[in-house]
Amino acid sequence: MFGQMILMMPLLLLSCTGGDASKEDVAQSQSSALTSYPPVGGQGIALQLELDASGSFFSFTDTTVDLGEGIVVTEVIVDDGWNARAKIMIDDTASLGARDVVVSSGSRNVTISNGFEVISDSFIIDPPDGKMGEIVEVGLLGKGTEWQSGVTWPNFGDGIEVMEFTVLSQTLAEALISIDPDATPGWRNVTVDSGMQDYVVLYDGFKVDRVGLGASFEPSMAQQGEMIEFTIRARGTDFTGSEPILTFYDRFGQNPDIVVNDVTVLDAENLFGRMTLSNAAALGLRDVQIDTLNDSVRIPNAFEVLGGDWDLSEVAISLAFNVVRSLDPSTCEISETVTATALFFIPLNPPCGGGGMGSPPPSPQPYDNNGIFPDPDGSGSEAEDCPFPTTLPAGDFVWFESEANIVTLEKTYESASGTIYYEGKNLTMADYAAGYDYDLHTQGEEGGLGEYLLEKVQPTVPADWTWLYPDLCGLVHPREEQMDLAWTPAQTYPDAIFFVKVAGTIEAEDKGGYAGVIPWDDGEHFFSPNELLQLKAEPVGFQAYSYIEGPMFGLPESIYQENQSESYILYNANFTLE
């Protein structure tokens, strides 16, 4: 690659003449300096070498080009006295490194010293061109390359954005590029960079055609939460060939927070439609991509998403107050984390990630019904990439207040998503009073929520409890033996539940699953050999927890009156089934 680096700059001609040349020929050749382009080529590829002279030099009848052993010149094309082209084929076994380019025209011989370098890595692309305003899928086929997913990235030059790049193997990749409608027509060098100075260049590898696919979008602005009518006018496209598909992009890439309600094709170059913006749609400029069977057109900065207003009637609340205890398998010590959180938000409209019509996975039913249950696989619906809902401030602090104590939650801002939430800092079990109903008290903030006191909305589990046996640290339990379980009474019934699970792999299905139960006896239970033998012999996870939900509640002005808080004390561990 060192030779490739130094040959990136234009190469100047060092000229010499044959020994029998006349003084006139020598003077003419010295006044006609030559340059060649591109400066490099890979083993096993064919390319065209462009030769330019500073003065009239090339003859239409007897111009020849020689690059030495291993490179065959298949054709020389003289355009005029100043410009010529040589089509060359580099052999797979051609010697690597720089070599001279010898150009002869009549009695004149000129040598471009180190004018061309043979390299081991190279690539070709298909297609090699695209129109202004077009989106193009480009295949890249390398030779001797070592492309890596997540590391390698291409550059197609000014006016061309690489939207996606997928490395399929060390020598095969795909790029999705968007050519700006205002991109300058002409050839571009394509560079594939794998970092650490490991890059390869395809000179004049991609051409932006002077023919453009121009498109415009109206309106230029749209507000969060609104349904908007839009029109698209495009030049050189054909919307009638297939139903157009619209995709929206913000500065981070494709964003699904805008839903297209319907599209009506008016003629080959015009369409009309309606779209609904999520009430949490990301603010700022959006590109619009229109895909048809034959064309793909992108409109940069097609419109701007503006912020919408919110109302107290739209505010929902999420609360939680939890304890997590985890057994460290290396030290056998138990770590303890206490969390208290509050979130005030506007639920997404239109909804996102609401799920499909599939049935929920089977799970334990009260009480004592031991069972083997598969992990949820999402078969009821496909996962959706949903926007973050709009979140609201309610002061610098909010509080969980009970007869036992007051827990302070501080306002926290997450810059990546713009989310505002409240959380308790450095909480311990001294802050978690079991068996109490806490009020939610907001401080209030101008431009956000005011001061509210919502009574007895956040419960805690009825009692603290401790795991007794078996001692799970370093435990290896035979599946053929009953596994007896014991804990101090959690006093969960009738208002809360207690749940125990051993999570591993269901052997018959070779899929993730667990042995689970909601025990009736408060303090002891067991898993039988029949149940444990349905799980693979391997390291498994273990969880036991008490869990309670609060009453339904909401802000007095809100339509959302079915908010429910949660609280649990969870014990996490690992052991081995054999």
Q: What DSSP string runs through 266-309?
A: EETTEEEEEEEE-TTPPPEEEEEEEE-SS-EEEEEEEEEEE---
More confident residue, 493 or 468: 468
pLDDT band at 30 (very low <50, low <70, confident <90, very high): very low
φ and ψ of 514, to 5 deg: -155, 155
- Rounded CA-CA distance 449/444 in Å is 5
- Rounded CA-CA distance 150/108 in Å is 51
* 32, 54 Cβ separation under 8 angstroms: yes
The encoded tokens of residue 190 equal 């394509």
pLDDT tens-digit profile of 187-240?
Answer: 999 999 998 888 899 998 999 987 666 788 999 999 998 999 999 998 878 888
Any idea which of 110-114, 279-283, 389-393 has the lowest mean pLDDT?
279-283
Looking at 172-212, which runs of residues are DSSP E strands? 172-179, 186-193, 199-212
Instruction: From residue 445, give the alpha-carbon distance in Å to each of 115, 343, 396, 411, 551.
Output: 71, 14, 8, 11, 26
* Surface-to-core class of residue 487, CB atoms within 10 Å of its CB (0-12 exposed, 13-18 middle, 19+ buried): buried
Any idea which of 19-28, 263-272, 380-389 has the lowest mean pLDDT?
19-28
- Rounded CA-CA distance 38/73 in Å is 15
pLDDT over 90 percentage in the chain: 67
Specify the amino acid at residue 145. T
Which is nearest to 206 in space by CA: 193, 191, 192, 189?
189
φ and ψ of 28, to 5 deg: -70, -40
pLDDT tens-digit profile of 301-334?
Answer: 999 999 888 899 999 999 999 999 999 999 999 9
| The predicted structure's pLDDT at residue 363 | 57
Quick check: 380 pLDDT over 80?
A: no
User: What number is the average pLDDT over the span 507-532?
Assistant: 92
Instruction: From residue 247, give the alpha-carbon distance in Å to each of 181, 244, 254, 296, 344.
Output: 17, 10, 7, 11, 30
Paired with 533 in beta bridges are: none
* 75, 55 Cβ separation under 8 angstroms: no
| The predicted structure's pLDDT at residue 29 | 39
Quick check: 522 pLDDT over 90?
A: no
| The predicted structure's pLDDT at residue 26 | 39
| The predicted structure's pLDDT at residue 365 | 62
Quick check: 405 pLDDT over 80?
A: yes
Any idea which of 93-102, 132-141, 266-275 has the lowest mean pLDDT?
132-141
| The predicted structure's pLDDT at residue 3 | 40
- Rounded CA-CA distance 349/389 in Å is 9
pLDDT band at 353 (very low <50, low <70, confident <90, very high): low
Query: Cα 526 to the chain's mean position, in Å?
Result: 44
Half-sphere exposure of 162 toward its Cβ, with a 13 Å CA cutoff?
18
Residue 378's contacts (CB-CB under 8 Å, 6 or more residues apart) are: none
* Surface-to-core class of residue 247, CB atoms within 10 Å of its CB (0-12 exposed, 13-18 middle, 19+ buried): middle
User: What number is the average pLDDT over the span 382-402?
Assistant: 87
- Rounded CA-CA distance 350/4 in Å is 54
* 490, 546 Cβ separation under 8 angstroms: yes
User: How many Å from the N-terminal Cα to the C-terminal Cα in the chain?
Assistant: 54
pLDDT band at 475 (very low <50, low <70, confident <90, very high): very high
Query: Cα 35 to the chain's mean position, in Å?
Result: 44
| The predicted structure's pLDDT at residue 32 | 61
pLDDT band at 520 (very low <50, low <70, confident <90, very high): confident
pTM: 0.63
Residue holding tokens 């078969």? 379
- Number of neighbouring beta carbons within 10 Å of residue 234: 23
| The predicted structure's pLDDT at residue 387 | 82
Which is nearest to 569 in space by CA: 404, 336, 331?
336
Domains of the chain: 2-119 (2.60.40.10), 122-212 (2.60.40.10), 215-306 (2.60.40.10)
| The predicted structure's pLDDT at residue 209 | 85
